[in-house]
């Protein structure tokens, strides 16, 4: 018997397993807010959980559990790199902002983390 799901028509058989629903990666609006704040508004190369807790985006201020969950997700996605701290209860990350291009004529838009004598 054909079943209609959205635009597609699927067929199921009596002895076959039911079709798996498609998995789409959903992003949390809070995750996007935190990432935007880290990349565009936070001036330092590193950030701590306390700094996000106290001076981060408004919807996250004061919500320690949400901050730790979101930073864990950003760590898995590669936006944050965990740093070793001198306190066991301190969480600190380096922000992976990507290559920064320079407008120096002599270096001709080569990312700054590559030495000038590389080429």
Q: What is the pLDDT of residues 28-55, one digit of tens each?
A: 889 999 999 999 999 999 999 999 999 9
Structural domain boundaries enclosing 74: 29-95
Residue 8 resides in a domain: no
CATH number at residue 49: 1.10.10
Tokens of 97: 């902002």
Confidence of residue 10 (pLDDT cuts 50, 70, 90): low
Residue 45 resides in a domain: yes
- pLDDT score recorded for residue 81: 92
Residue 66 resides in a domain: yes
* Contact predicate 49/68, CB 8 Å: yes
Residue 105 resides in a domain: no
Query: What b/e string do you get for 77-90 counting C-beta neighbours within 10 Å, with b at 16 or more?
Result: eebbeeeeeeeeee
Residue 42 resides in a domain: yes
- pLDDT score recorded for residue 103: 46
- pLDDT score recorded for residue 90: 92
Best CA proximity match to 19, nearest among 35, 3, 32: 3
- pLDDT score recorded for residue 15: 61
- Sorted by sequence, the CB contacts under 8 Å of residue 34 that are 6+ apart come out as 52, 56, 57, 60, 67, 70, 71, 74
Residue 39 resides in a domain: yes
Count H helices and E strands in the chain, helices first.
3, 5
Q: Mind listing the pLDDT tens digit for each residue in 47-101? A: 999 999 999 999 988 899 999 999 999 999 889 999 999 998 899 999 998 755 4
Residue 13 resides in a domain: no
Number of independent structural domains in the chain: 1
Residue 4 resides in a domain: no
């Amino acid at each position: 018997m054909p079943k209609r799901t959205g635009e597609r028509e699927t067929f199921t058989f009596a002895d076959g397993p039911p079709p798996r629903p498609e998995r789409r990666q959903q992003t949390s609006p809070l995750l996007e807010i935190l990432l935007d704040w880290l990349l565009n508004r936070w001036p330092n190369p590193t950030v701590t959980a306390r700094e996000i807790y106290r001076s981060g985006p408004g919807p996250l201020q004061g919500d320690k559990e949400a901050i730790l969950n979101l930073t864990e997700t950003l760590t898995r996605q590669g936006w944050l790199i965990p740093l070793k701290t001198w306190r066991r209860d301190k969480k600190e990350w380096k922000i992976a902002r990507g290559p920064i291009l320079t407008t120096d004529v002599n270096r001709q838009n080569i990312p700054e983390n590559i030495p000038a004598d590389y080429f």
